[in-house]
Every structure is written in C-alpha cells, then in structure tokens.
Amino acid sequence: MELKATALGKHLAQHPYNRIRLLNAGVELRGDKHEYLLPFNQLINITCKRGVVWGVLEFELPDGKVVRLHGTEWQATKQFYHRLQHVWQQWSLEMSRVSANALQQQLDHIDSVERQDKWLKSQDVTELQQQIRQLFANLPMPLARLTQFEDCQSRYQRCLSWLQDNPDGVVLRNQQWMARVKQQHPDFFRQIEASPLSDQQIQVILNAEETLLLLAAAGCGKSAMLIARVCWLLLRNEAEPRQILLLAPNNSLSEQLEQRLHQQCGVLPIQVHTLNSLAQHIVQQNSSKSFFISQLEQDTALRRAWLTKLWQQQCNEKKAQANGWRQWLSEAFGWQLSEEHFWHQPPLVQRLAEHLDRWLTALRAQTVSQAQILQQAEAAMQPLLKKRLQLMAPLLKAWKAALKQESAVDTFALHQQAIKLLQNGRFISPWKQILVDDWQQIPPQQQQLLTTLHQQHKRTSLFATGDELSINEVMQRQHKSVMAAFSDHFANAKSCHLASSYRFNARIGEVVTHLIGDVDRGVQPAPIGLSKGNKKSVMMLPQNQLPALLDKISGYAKPSEQVLLLARYEYLKPDLLATAAIRWPTLTISFMTFEASQGQQAEYVIVSGLAQDDDAFPFETSDILLEYLLCLVSNDQLKNNQTQQCQQLADTATKRERLQLYLALTRAKHRVWLMYDEQRPSTVFDQLKQIGLPLSKKP
C-alpha cells in the first residue's frame, strides 16, 4: 500500500518526502532526493492531521525526533493511516508478548539472585543493571511504549527500578537476609566475642562487598571485627583457610592478630603477614636469588645508632657539614648548641637519632632523584631544601653502600620487586579473601603492593579496617579523607562504620572530642564510650608527681591490668622506669612513643612530657624537609606559591601533633593522667583547663 502527495501538494510543501509505502514491519518515506526507512521497532507514535487542504502524517521517534509527510489528499491519507494503524497495532501486540516474556525471564533471574543465601553485593547489582540495560536495548519495541501494554507495564517498571543509583529494594533485601541469618546462627553472634555482638557489628561481619573499608575511631573493635569476619567465612564455607590472607601494618599487630585468630578460630593454615613479610614471600616464591631484608632495616635501635655514628663522623671531618647541621637544628628545633663539638653531646645525639631516622626513611621512599625533588619545589623554597638535602646526601649514600656490603635490600626495593612479579604474572595469588588491619598505617609504597595483589583476580574480596583520625594518614594524605585515599587504590570501594567504643569510657570520649575539635573536616566524630566514667577518668598532674602516681596505682591495680607510659619521643622515656620492676613489682609497666602505641591498649595510661621547650609537645615548628618529602610520596599537590606551600606543610604538621594526643588518650580503658611541666606547661595546657579537666597537685 502506498500514499503519494498530490502534484500541487508536492510543489507547495517543498518537503524532502512526498510518498510513503507500507512495509511488512515498517514504512518507507521517499522523495526525489531522499528516502527514510522507519521500522516499527523505532516508532513511538503515529498521528494523522488535517491541514487547510491536505493531510499530514507525523511519525514520532525516540529522543523527540519527528518525521512528517505533507501534501497528501485528505481522504487517501485517512485510508492509509487506518490501514497503517491496524498493521502497526497487530505488530505491537505480538512484540509486547515477546517483550513481556523477555522481561519476565529477567525478573525470574533477579528473583533467583535475591533468594540467594548471601549478602547482595554492589557488584551483583551492577551485573544485574548491565543485564537489564542490555535487555532494554534488545527489546523489539521502544521502551516508551512498554507502559501501554498490560502484560509489560509492571514487569518493565520493576526492571527499571533496578537502574536507580541506590535501589531501595537492595537495602531492604539485605536487611531481611541479615535478620534471617541472626536467627539461624544465634550462638555465633553471641559467643564470638566476650559480649554479644551489636546489630551494627553483625552488619559489618555480614557485609560482603567486594572491597569494603570499616571506618571507626580508636577502641571501636576494628581488629575484633576482622577476626570475627574470618570465623564467619570459615563457618559459611565461603573460603578455605588457605584462601584467606590477613595483613597487619607491623610485626607487633601481626602477632596479635595471629594469636587472636588461633584463640577464636583454632590453629588453621591461614597466613598472617605484614606487607614486608608478604613482599618477601612473593619474591622468595619466584626467584632463585635470595632476598634478605637488611638488619639495619629490621632493627630500629641498630639503625639509629649507625646513623648517629655516621652523622658524628660527618661533623667531625667536615667543618662545613658541622656548621650546616648546627644551623639546621637551631632553626628547626630551637636547640641551643655549643660552638665546639656539639655532635659529641650524648643528650643531643639521643634526641637527634629519631629525626635522622625519619629523614632518611622519607628520602629512601622517593622514586626520583634529589635534583628532581628540588625541581618540584617553588623557587623560594629550593635553597633551604637544597641545604638540607645536601646534609642528608652522605647518609643516604652510606645507606646504599651498607646494603650492598650486607648483600641485602631494604623494604622499598623488596616491595618494588614484589610488585613487578605480580604485574608480570610470575606470582599468582592463591587468596580469595584478603583482610587488612589498620589500612591507614600502611605507607603508600606498601599500599601499592596491596593494590596490585588485589587486581590479580576480579573476584578477590578485600576487607580493611581504618581509623579516620589517624596520625600516619595525616602524614601521608595531607587533606584527603581515609575513604577518599582508599578509593584512589580500589575502584568501587564501599564503607561501613562503627560508632561505639568498647575500650574507653564516655568521659575519655568527651575529652577526645574537645581536643580534636575541627582538626580535619569530614572526619568521623570521636567514638561514644559505652561505660560512663567520671571526671577523674582524665586528670592533669605535674610531671614530678610521676613516682607518686605509680605508687598509688600499684595499690589498686589488678595483676592482669597494665600501665602504659607514653611520650612524644623515645628519648623522653623517664629514667625511673629502669628500676620500675624493683620499685613496683606488682605493676606491668611499658613505655612507648605516641606513634608506636597505635593498636595498643592498657587499663591505665600516663601521658608524659606536656612541656613547652625545645622538646615541646605539641611541636610548634614545622619540619619542612620531612613534610615536603612525605607530600611527594603521597603524590599530593602543593599550592602554587612558596608562602602557601609552607603554610600547607605547617598546617599538616600541626594536625599531626594534635592527633598525637588523641592517639595517646584513646589507648586507655579506665583512666588517663596528663603529666605537665609546671614551669613550662604545654600550649595545650590552657585548652585542657578550659574543658574542665581536673588539675591536681598530687595523685
């Protein structure tokens, strides 16, 4: 059947199409120079209109496009339109049945996925969404017409609801599944920890997203959730023991994880590694050459002694070096140095060792030359950085020579070797489940190893814990949140949270909240202590009252309870601890720096050294070299001009100092004492008084 424009209509309309022919499943429009084939599976609507003289046929297509035929005789137009409508509707009814069947098959698959006895993951939803989009693209009629047919309408709407960004049905479905699981395994959730798990904790354990970060502040039980999650995986047979890998940021936490794992899950072939030992394992499995981590790398005391000895040789042999170091230490720390042989003063050597270690570690972490390091700095900053890099250069050179002499590697080289083996496919990961404790403590280079390992298999699940208020993370990420930094390494990462502290009481939590203030926008608030505590849970005492305080604690502390003494630097360890075992034989006392105490806890915590002097806490001067090197390692972008660069680096240093006290306070279960210098109290002293902290002359 064909319809043509009249001769006059064709002349007056001046339209590219002047005739139309009805096909089996479409229409063909033609003109003298143009033709257009319109299959029915692209038609949204067909309209017949009467003009002043002639008829008009309009064909509506997707995206609002309209094709028209003008100049046809009206009666012929109506006759053609009715025939076209009949053929089109018959075709549409047949195609609606085909579409309804296809939609129902998709819904049956969705139902089968929803009925599975497991957490419905974002990846599962993404795959369903891809299937639905593919189905919509393959349906034999435009999507806009599906709502016109009763057998398609509800099926189409239900499929369409799955294409929302956050389908409500997924949240509800997972909640219902978790409720059933809790009823099926009541003993597990009641007995896996000392106290029955809360609903929030249960959700953390059951949340099976492919890449998940548990964010919680200190004392919220992040490590406990990691171990409970392993036990759950084993209970559900979701992974064999050999397919599970646990990772910790250091040896101490690794040993703790392994011990807790054996206590709660039994002795199983589950591998517990630090990132260093994992890198060594990967390299040893794939190389005939033995790779040994340098003893200098593994032994902090040995490394610092070696560094200070080299530093003393520098100063002794070269006057220019000695003068350079005198200027640096005076400017950066305000240390008063004698004119003659200051490098032989034992107190100075002891204080400097930790700083030398930090500077050398930051330099070793760089992947570019010192010349390139300088090039990335603003011109005004370059002279100062150049002086300090020149002073450190002999130490870095000596480090490389020591490694060569020892036939060993440091951790940076070891990690790079492991990453290459993973990228080249020479080591194939056997792990289906990777669980990481305190992710934010892992340095950027080691994070890259973890990222490469995870990328080997698309279906490898990664569960990590992280503290939003982390000192190390502020050192590494500057102004980026933990979750944002985590997402940089792992695409489509999800997060969950724990808010309640199972370590310290509400009073400690209240003090922590006041102290951290607005230290970093966007961070999670301090955790809520489950027990109430009282005003004496956090107290201030003069530093000279430390012996009296330990006397008093020894009178009521239980044998199982511990005392943790913390200070900013290792060299601030009180001398009286040398005889503590004799003087207080019933007390278990340990000493740590603030940073080393991450992951630790004790019933009683004593924070020592809140003074305002050249060992001040908080440290008021920005260590420009360290801050700049850390910034380069974390690939952060510094502001454009030198003044802004210095301010950004100083702001980061200030944040880290403030978070040191947060870390120290949150190690305590019951009580904290803040020991201050009466003559030169710390700058945080007034802030502590303003929030109502009790100030006592005696314990």
Least confidently predicted of 135-144, 287-296, 361-370, 533-542: 287-296
Burial class (CB in 10 A: 0-12, 13-18, 19+), 223: middle
User: Which of 460, 398, 378, 435 minimizes the C-alpha distance to 643?
Assistant: 378
User: Which of 511, 535, 618 minimizes the C-alpha distance to 569?
Assistant: 618
The model carries a pTM of 0.79
CATH number of the domain that residue 33 is part of: 2.30.29.30
Query: What pLDDT, on a 0 to 100 scale, did the predictor assign at position 468?
Result: 65
Q: Is the pLDDT of residue 472 over 50?
A: no
In the structure, what pLDDT confidence band is assigned to residue 647 with cuts at 50, 70 and 90?
low
The reply to whether 165 and 279 lie within a common domain is: no
Paired tokens of 581: 């075992």
Total structural domains within the chain: 4
The reply to whether 10 and 144 lie within a common domain is: yes
Q: Is the pLDDT of residue 532 over 80?
A: no
Least confidently predicted of 208-217, 489-498, 567-576, 655-664: 655-664
> In three state form, how does the secondary structure of 478-546 look?
CCCCHHHHHHHHCCCCEEEEECEECCCCHHHHHHHHHHHCCCCCCCCCCCEECCCCCHHHEEEEEHHHH
Q: In what order do the strands lie in the sheet with 35-39?
A: 2-4, 19-22, 26-30, 35-39
Map tokens 């300090």 to a residue.
388
Cα–Cα distance, 191 to 172 (Å, whole number): 27
Cα–Cα distance, 121 to 127 (Å, whole number): 10
- Between 663 and 470, residue with greater pLDDT: 663
What single DSSP character describes residue 409? B
Q: Is the pLDDT of residue 523 over 70?
A: no
Question: How many Cα atoms are found within 13 Å in the side-chain-facing hemisphere of 99?
Answer: 30
Q: In 3-state terms, what secondary structure has residue 374?
A: helix
* Cβ contacts of 413 within 8 Å, gap of 6 or more: none
Least confidently predicted of 54-58, 81-85, 263-267: 263-267
Map tokens 């206590």 to a residue.
263
Q: Is the pLDDT of residue 524 over 60?
A: no
- Between 571 and 476, residue with greater pLDDT: 571
Please give the residue range of the domain that contains residue 73.
1-184
What average pLDDT does the structure give for the chain? 85
The reply to whether 309 and 265 lie within a common domain is: no
Q: In 3-state terms, what secondary structure has residue 71?
A: strand
The reply to whether 242 and 195 lie within a common domain is: yes
Burial class (CB in 10 A: 0-12, 13-18, 19+), 635: exposed
Q: In 3-state terms, what secondary structure has residue 25?
A: coil
Cα–Cα distance, 114 to 411 (Å, whole number): 46
Q: What is the pLDDT of residues 349-379, one digit of tens each?
A: 988 998 999 899 888 888 778 888 888 877 8
Q: What is the greatest pairwise CA distance in the chain?
A: 118
The share of the chain scoring above pLDDT 70, in percent, equals 89
User: Which of 462, 438, 458 minimizes the C-alpha distance to 450?
Assistant: 462
Burial class (CB in 10 A: 0-12, 13-18, 19+), 446: buried
The reply to whether 331 and 444 lie within a common domain is: no
Instruction: Tell me if 699 is assigned to some domain.
Output: no
Instruction: Show which of 481, 498, 515 is a domain's final residue.
Output: 498
- Between 194 and 275, residue with greater pLDDT: 275
In the structure, what pLDDT confidence band is assigned to residue 639 with cuts at 50, 70 and 90?
very low
Q: Is the pLDDT of residue 64 over 80?
A: yes
User: Which of 607, 648, 606, 643 minimizes the C-alpha distance to 627?
Assistant: 648
Instruction: Tell me if 271 is assigned to some domain.
Output: yes
Cα separation values, 139 from 5, 46, 212, 645, Å? 34, 20, 36, 57
Cα–Cα distance, 482 to 216 (Å, whole number): 11
The reply to whether 458 and 576 lie within a common domain is: no
Cα–Cα distance, 162 to 155 (Å, whole number): 12
Cα separation values, 11 from 5, 17, 59, 325, 343, Å? 9, 12, 22, 95, 103
The reply to whether 33 and 159 lie within a common domain is: yes
Instruction: Tell me if 213 is assigned to some domain.
Output: yes
Helix or strand (DSSP H, E) at 670: strand 668-676
Long-range contacts of 644-648 (CB under 8 A, 24+ apart): 645/377, 645/378, 645/381, 646/381, 646/622, 648/478
Paired tokens of 290: 């033995």
In the structure, what pLDDT confidence band is assigned to residue 531 with cuts at 50, 70 and 90?
low
DSSP secondary structure string for all residues of 286-347: T-SS---B-HHHH-HHHHHHHHHHHHHHHHHH-HHHHHHHHHHHHHHH-----SS-GGG-HH
Query: What pLDDT, on a 0 to 100 scale, did the predictor assign at position 447?
Result: 86
- Rounded to an integer, the average pLDDT of 597-602 is 86
User: Which of 198, 236, 234, 243 minimizes the C-alpha distance to 118?
Assistant: 236
Tell me if the bond preceding 559 is cis, omega within 30° of 0.
no
The reply to whether 278 and 311 lie within a common domain is: no
In the structure, what pLDDT confidence band is assigned to residue 599 with cuts at 50, 70 and 90?
confident
Cα–Cα distance, 225 to 236 (Å, whole number): 16
Query: What pLDDT, on a 0 to 100 scale, did the predictor assign at position 655?
Result: 67
Instruction: Tell me if 419 is assigned to some domain.
Output: no
- Between 606 and 685, residue with greater pLDDT: 606
The reply to whether 477 and 511 lie within a common domain is: no
Q: What is the pLDDT of residues 111-157, one digit of tens each?
A: 999 999 999 998 899 899 999 999 999 999 999 999 999 999 999 99
The reply to whether 671 and 548 lie within a common domain is: yes
Task: Give residue 146's region: left, alpha or beta (phi > 0; psi -120 to 50).
Answer: alpha
Instruction: Tell me if 478 is assigned to some domain.
Output: yes
Polymer length of the chain:
699
Query: What pLDDT, on a 0 to 100 scale, did the predictor assign at position 648?
Result: 56
Cα–Cα distance, 336 to 682 (Å, whole number): 19
Q: What is the pLDDT of residues 190-244, one digit of tens each?
A: 999 888 898 999 999 999 999 999 988 777 888 899 999 999 999 999 999 999 9
Q: What is the pLDDT of residues 502-520, one digit of tens each?
A: 778 878 878 877 776 544 4
Instruction: Tell me if 606 is assigned to some domain.
Output: yes
Instruction: Show which of 438, 465, 498 is a domain's final residue.
Output: 498
The reply to whether 382 and 347 lie within a common domain is: yes
User: Which of 504, 508, 437 minimizes the C-alpha distance to 470?
Assistant: 437
Instruction: Tell me if 416 is assigned to some domain.
Output: no
* Cβ contacts of 420 within 8 Å, gap of 6 or more: none
Instruction: Tell me if 414 is assigned to some domain.
Output: no
**Beta strand extents in 12-155 (DSSP E only):** 19-22, 26-30, 35-39, 45-50, 55-60, 66-72
In the structure, what pLDDT confidence band is assigned to residue 643 with cuts at 50, 70 and 90?
very low
- Rounded to an integer, the average pLDDT of 24-47 is 91
Burial class (CB in 10 A: 0-12, 13-18, 19+), 583: middle
Question: How many Cα atoms are found within 13 Å in the side-chain-facing hemisphere of 363?
Answer: 25
Instruction: Show which of 375, 408, 441 is a domain's final residue.
Output: 408
Q: Is the pLDDT of residue 477 over 90?
A: no
Cα–Cα distance, 58 to 41 (Å, whole number): 16
Q: In what order do the strands lie in the sheet with 494-498?
A: 271-274, 244-248, 433-436, 461-466, 211-216, 494-498
CATH number of the domain that residue 458 is part of: 3.40.50.300
The reply to whether 686 and 580 lie within a common domain is: yes
